[in-house]
Amino acid sequence: MKILLAGYYGFGNLGDELLAQAARELLSAKHDVTVCRARRNFLPLLWRADCLFFAGGSLFQDVTGHGLSVLYYSALALAAKLLRKKLFLVAQGVGPIRAPLNRWLTRAVFRRADFVSLRDRESAEFLRLPRCYLTADLLFAAKLKTKKAARREQIVVNLKRNTPRILTEFQPVYLAMQPSADQGRPCASSDFAAARLAVGTRLHFLILAVLHNVPAVGIAYDPKVENFCRKFSLPYVALNELERLPQIIRRELAKLAATKKHLAVLVRQEQRLARESVKILLEKLNG
């Protein structure tokens, strides 16, 4: 099968690029996979494809991208259905969606998909689909190369550009998941090898941290970050509570060993869930 991967690719966002990499690793053994990185190429690539595949992420939301993300990705999905292509919406996180039209359109797209899996219960409750699969974020199914450092001393921090720096006492290393929008130098998976604690705004920064068994503190700019932190029993603050961060960090540094042990158990559970859902996904594609 010829599969076209579409999403927020080509904009320098490490989280989305890792999702594309994970999807290619899972699919390319048996299928011809193409990643669409330029919007002008979408229709020619879709014409030659058998299946349009959205691999993870929060594509269907209207709080970023000038509120146009729902309209854009719905248009791609509906174009696929009009051309009689299969539509696979995999490990999706849905929302926040504020506009009534966008809420209706999102539900309409997901009901017309050939396969749907969702990365959190909140998305499932919003969509109310007759059939879908609850899974983990696609990064939990990825084959990440992890390195071990002799000593873990760094506190790594991910902040968007308009967020004030209030953690100078900890001498943190600022890492940008998307350099055009975040503070610091570009982030890489290897940066977590020397980290003892991660503090971050972006969801996939926090996921990378726990995958490397690094305790984390979330800055909940979006419900998906709050939901993730609750699921992994991680502390978090809202954007208007940043002054609480130093106290929370000191508390977390005092119990790193216990947190790492707890995280290891939860990560294994998520990885098992991700593998099970990938198995179902591949059966649907190959069937």
Place of tokens 């879709």: 46
Please give the pLDDT value at position 31: 95
Query: What domains appear along the chain, each with residue ranges and CATH number?
Result: 2-134 (3.40.50.2000), 154-269 (3.40.50.2000)
Residue 148's pLDDT is what?
Answer: 66
Residue from 226, 251, 140, 146 nearest 189 by CA: 146
Q: What is the pLDDT of residue 78?
A: 96
The confidence score (pLDDT) of residue 151 equals 65
Residue 66: per-residue pLDDT: 76
Cα–chain-centroid distance for residue 23? 12
Q: Is residue 183 packed enough to be buried (19+ CB in 10 Å), middle (13-18) or exposed (0-12)?
A: middle
Contacts with 160 (C-beta within 8 Å, 6 or more apart), sequence order: 181, 182, 183, 201, 221
pLDDT 10s per residue in the chain (287 long)?
A: 999 999 999 999 999 999 999 999 999 989 999 999 988 899 999 999 999 999 998 999 998 877 899 999 999 999 999 999 999 999 999 999 999 999 999 999 999 999 999 999 999 999 999 989 999 999 999 888 776 665 678 999 999 998 888 898 999 999 999 999 999 999 998 899 889 999 999 999 999 999 999 999 999 988 999 999 999 999 999 999 999 999 999 999 999 999 999 999 999 999 999 999 999 999 998 87
Query: Residue 92: what are its φ and ψ, rounded to 5°?
Result: -85, 145
pLDDT score at 99: 94
For helices 245-253 and 256-286, what crossing angle results, to 10°?
A: 100
Note if the pTM is more than 0.85.
yes
Type of residue numbered 60: F
Q: What's the burial of 39, exposed, middle or buried (CB within 10 Å: 0-12/13-18/19+)?
A: exposed
Reduced to 3 states (helix: H, G, I; strand: E, B; else coil), residue 221 is coil
Selection from 136, 173, 179 nearest residue 155 by Cα: 173
157, with CB counted inside 10 A (0-12, 13-18, 19+), is buried
* pLDDT score at 72: 95
